[in-house]
Amino acid sequence: ARVSAVLSCASLQMKNMDKEVKRSRLAEQLYKHYASTAIPKGIHCLSLRLTDEYSSNAHARKQLPPPELLPLLSDNSFQHYILASDNILAASVVVSSTVRSSSVPEKVVFHVITDKKTYPGMHSWFALNSVSPAIVEVKGVHQFDWLTRENVPVLEAIENHRGVRNHYHGDHGTVSSASDNPRVLASKLQARSPKYISLLNHLRIYLPELFPSLNKVVFLDDDIVVQRDLSPLWEIDLEGKVNGAVETCRGEDNWVMSKRFRTYFNFSHPVIDRSLDPDECAWAYGMNIFDLEAWRKTNIRDTYHFWLKENLKAGLTLWKFGTLPPALIAFRGHVHGIDPSWHMLGLGYQESTDIESVKKAAVIHYNGQCKPWLDIAFKNLQPFWTKHVNYSNDFIRNCHILEPLYDR
């Protein structure tokens, strides 16, 4: 009886320890979520100071690019990159790393798009920090005549839909109680990121209309670093497809490279079950080659709008994560898989990433919560990003955006 009592007591202690471990892991995921969605003081300061500079310094307001270079913004003999971001520091890293890695920087044209609030600061940064011989254009969403409520009605519906507001801005405690699996919680919290209802995050679906003179572009997310010349991307034959992307169903890891449609969609819902194949291969946003000429001959945008509306009708129950799922449907049949070495994903998910593979990748993508500009960044992966930050810049120094010790 004593032995039985001892074993029972030990079993109870083990269960309590398991509960504590799970509780600790869940708390960690919540902390990471709040840390990843907050704006660091230094980055907020940078935006404010550059905005002030825009109002007081004529050099910060100078035309980008200068008038004599404006024709190059629609010259299809150049390499056109598009970046949509409200993070000035992150945008600066994407642009500078791309230009540094290019074998023909004089042929690089960057179209940086930001929101109305960030526009003065973003413009100031690139006006005062030239990346010559590359060309940079900075535009706010308010400067695109095509972006009207009539042309993007579904976005207004998303922003005003009560269920969407509750989903993205509601009580996170209800999420944590929904599962005791930290990995499941992490994915649910990531789906709650406010960026998913941001117009900037949906802009890529309107590229053919926003850039009517361009034939082919490369779209880059703001949490990437370019490490190799991307010029060969313009030589890839997309075989009539619209979107050149890395497929994410060819690997073994659970976080990034083993994703099929079943990962993203709710196949217990009849609308999804009768419309999609759970074994269909997924692909990645972050570094995409878009053939805009081919795109203009399709109904991709209308399909995207249709499925966003369907998800609203279904009470947001058709899929789990952000903006990729409706794009997976909209681009079905229009994706050309490119070599995975062009785009390495997953640097923001786990610390135990193969460093040698990181070094070899053309583009590395911090697409998890632990962004390289945050305190929760993985210290072994952060230097690939921080080496492109100019810590001697007066604005960066005055905002106390400090160079990590391991970079000194």
In tens, the pLDDT along 36-66 reads 456 789 999 999 999 999 999 999 999 999 9
Distance CA 403, CA 387 (A): 9
| Residue 34 included in any domain | no
Residue 59 has a pLDDT of 97
Helix/strand/coil (H/E/C) assignment for every residue in the chain:
CHHHHHHHHHHHHHHHHHHHHHHHHHHHHHHHHHHHHCCCHHHHHHHHHHHHHHHHCHHHHCCCCCHHHHHHHHCCCCEEEEEECCCHHHHHHHHHHHHHHCCCHHHEEEEEEECCCCHHHHHHHHHHCCCCCCEEEEEEHHHCCCCCCCCCHHHHHHHHCHHHHHHHHCCHHHHHCCCCCHHHHHHHHHHCCHHHHCHHHHHHHHHHHHCCCCCEEEEECCCEEECCCCHHHHHCCCCCCCEEECECCCCCCCCCCCCEHHHHECCCCHHHHCCCCCCCECECCCEEEEEHHHHCCCCHHHHHHHHHHHHHHCCCCCECCCCHHHHHHHCCCCEEECCHHHCECCCCCCCCCCHHHHHHCCEEECCCCCCCCCCCCCCCCCHHHHCCCCCCCHHHHHCCCCCCHHHC
Please, are residues 277 and 333 in contact by the beta-carbon 8 Å criterion? Answer: no
Residue 3 placed within a domain: no
Residue 202 has a pLDDT of 86
**Looking at beta carbons, which pairs linking 229-237 to residues 24 or more positions away fall under 8 Å?**
229/101, 229/102, 229/103, 229/362, 230/79, 230/98, 230/101, 230/102, 230/362, 230/363, 231/79, 231/102, 231/103, 231/104, 231/107, 233/289, 233/338, 233/342, 234/79, 234/289, 236/289, 236/336, 236/338
Measured CA to CA, the distance from residue 94 to residue 323 in angstroms comes to 21
Give the separation between CA 297 and CA 307, rounded to whole angstroms.
Answer: 19
pLDDT reading at 168 higher than 70: no
Per the structure block, which two tokens stand in for 378?
């993985």
Residue with tokens 């509960």: 19
Q: Is the peptide bond before 182 cis (omega within 30 degrees of 0)?
A: no
Q: Is residue 363 part of a domain?
A: yes
Alpha-carbon distances, residue 200 vs 60, 103, 238, 252 (angstroms): 23, 29, 26, 32
Q: Is residue 29 part of a domain?
A: no
298-325: average pLDDT:
88
- Tell me the two tokens of residue 195: 């960026």
CATH number, domain with residue 373: 3.90.550.10
Measured between alpha carbons, how far is 183 from 185 in angstroms, rounded to an integer? Answer: 5
Residue range 145-172: mean pLDDT, rounded: 65
Q: What is the pLDDT of residues 183-197, one digit of tens each?
A: 555 555 454 555 556
Per-residue confidence band for 382, with pLDDT thresholds at 50, 70 and 90: very high
The residue that leads in pLDDT, 338 or 18, is: 338
Q: Structure tokens of 26?
A: 């869940």
Specify if 13 maps to a domain. no
**pLDDT, mean over the chain:** 85
Is the model's pLDDT at 289 over the cut of 70?
A: yes
- Note the pLDDT of residue 197: 63
Give the pair of three-digit tokens for residue 174.
Answer: 């209800």
Residue labelled with tokens 């003179």: 213
Total domains, the chain: 1
Q: Kindly indicate the confidence band of residue 258, based on its pLDDT and cuts at 50, 70 and 90.
A: confident
Torsional sign, CA 322, 96, 81, 359: negative
27 falls within a domain? no
List the domain range (segments joined by +) for residue 59: 41-407
Per-residue confidence (pLDDT) for residue 268, from 0 to 100: 96
pTM of this prediction?
0.85
HSE-up of residue 3 (Cα within 13 Å, Cβ side): 0
Q: Please state, in angstroms and as integers, the Cα–Cα distance from residue 81 to each residue in 28, 170, 217, 279, following that order.
A: 37, 36, 6, 32
Which tokens belong to 62?
A: 């100078």
Q: pLDDT by residue (tens digit) across 101-135?
A: 999 999 999 999 999 999 999 999 999 999 999 99
Q: Which residues are registered as beta bridge partners of 336?
A: 244
**Residue 25 belongs to some domain of the structure:** no
Peptide bond into 65 cis (omega under 30): yes
Is residue 124 included in any domain, yes or no? yes
